[in-house]
Structure 1
């Protein structure tokens, strides 16, 4: 068992984009990555279902005595976080929509947000857009559920042509020359960032995974709990489909041990 790790979780591969950013930003920390494959996708759940899943996941991760827990998925971070953040013995860091950075980068006052259907259709998302985006900024919503599934299935590793075509089919109907910045508001999306860049070569992309890594480092500095020395270790837990998940991770260069925790849940 890792000593006081930072626990990072979502419904599958999405957490990996956050873990990668975290390991670059704070390489001295231990990381525990929990892929809740049993409940993929979070974006397809009702709010009530999602709340039950997230609470159960956090209680499970508390057993590992983490420094903090990162909710590495935009959907529950937007819909559930505010309701449950004070209910646990460990602090929770959400994955926020990187709206401020996206707006600041836009010169044409027209941005797009790529996210799961669950995120885009939630009243919490609409509230956040109204609260944080000035009225003169136009916001295009791009339902990226099909791309998220493409990532989770590992298709992007084995069929580049299909991956590019699918991503193009999802994005292109929503993009014209008035949009200059796109926010990647699912943690699965940075994993295929190179494909999205190929479809949108002249558009800036903003990555929510980078933002959450910065939030975690700032939190650890504030609490005085940032590890100063050494090289952090990394372990992976998965709640279902271990063999398939391990095969995808190995193809992505992840060599660490992967533990099936389905019987512990």
Structure 2
């Protein structure tokens, strides 16, 4: 049986990564877990995010994945190294790929980052950007209103525009020419964010760069799928499957199989 790529997120945000993996690697099978019952992760203590991530990885290991992708910026900041130390397959996060993409696009050397409180407070993007380019100037801001909007499927409305506009005060009109969407939920709001920030600011989503990193790692390890049939993907969530399925179908433009998850006692950690 074809080994899948396991992708996890706090909710529906990681589907932005799924979409790019489907586009760039159409032969790869995906097993996805969205922790919709406990989203958002951003305001939670780091210890709690670490425990949740361990539990999800423990659940996903039963599918014998060839790679784990932590498609949640908060979980990447908190748990990436921990999970890498506990499994014997590659584990990819979304922060470094997003930082690398921004470094390649900025012309002014001023980069903005928006994300959850957990991601911004961790300083993970600042560290990744400065590791790649020490002279980079970073302007970061937490946008806690965004994830609840996305989890409700509220992508474009007057409420959404007002939330985006008020959240981006201090970034709009600044010197930045690139804005990293430092949460995989945020691409759902990309049209509104772009409208507020204006055409002179390039939005950076880590999804496409993460998919490229996945492709490179699997190619180097000789693990790219060569199956001819279209793979059957598997989607799981911990909360209400109806909202998850509705958003997933809208974003991925296809019917998906959905299995609600009953939590088990974690064996990892």
Q: TM-score of the superposition, structure 2-length normalised?
A: 0.89
State the alpha-carbon separation in 2 of the partners of residues 235 and 12 from structure 1.
15
The equivalent residue for 2:78 is 79
State the alpha-carbon separation in 1 of the partners of residues 5 and 101 from structure 2.
25
Deviation of the 1:126 alpha carbon: 5.0
Q: 212, 215, 220: which one pairs with 1:214? A: 212
- Point out the more displaced range, 49-58 or 163-172: 163-172
**Residues 205-244 of structure 1 mapped to structure 2, 5 A cutoff:** 205-228=203-226, 229-244=228-243
State whether residues 95 and 124 of structure 2, in contact with CA within 8 Å, keep that contact through their aligned partners in structure 1: no
Q: TM-score of the superposition, structure 1-length normalised?
A: 0.90
Q: Is the aligned partner of 1:13 residue 2:20?
A: no
**Pair 106,251 (structure 1): closer, same or farther in 2 beyond 3 Å:** closer
Deviation of the 1:254 alpha carbon: 4.1
**Pair 124,138 (structure 1): closer, same or farther in 2 beyond 3 Å:** closer
Q: 149, 161, 164: which one pairs with 2:161? A: 164
State the alpha-carbon separation in 2 of the partners of residues 196 and 232 from structure 1.
34
Q: Is the aligned partner of 1:33 residue 2:32?
A: yes
Question: What are structure 1's unaligned runs of at least 5 residues?
Answer: none
State whether residues 167 and 195 of structure 1, in contact with CA within 8 Å, keep that contact through their aligned partners in structure 2: yes
CA RMSD of aligned residues (A): 2.0
Residue 229 of structure 2 aligns to a residue whose secondary structure is coil
State whether residues 54 and 76 of structure 1, in contact with CA within 8 Å, keep that contact through their aligned partners in structure 2: yes
Deviation of the 1:83 alpha carbon: 2.7
The equivalent residue for 1:143 is 142
Number of residue pairs aligned between Structure 1 and Structure 2 = 261
More helix as a share of residues: 1
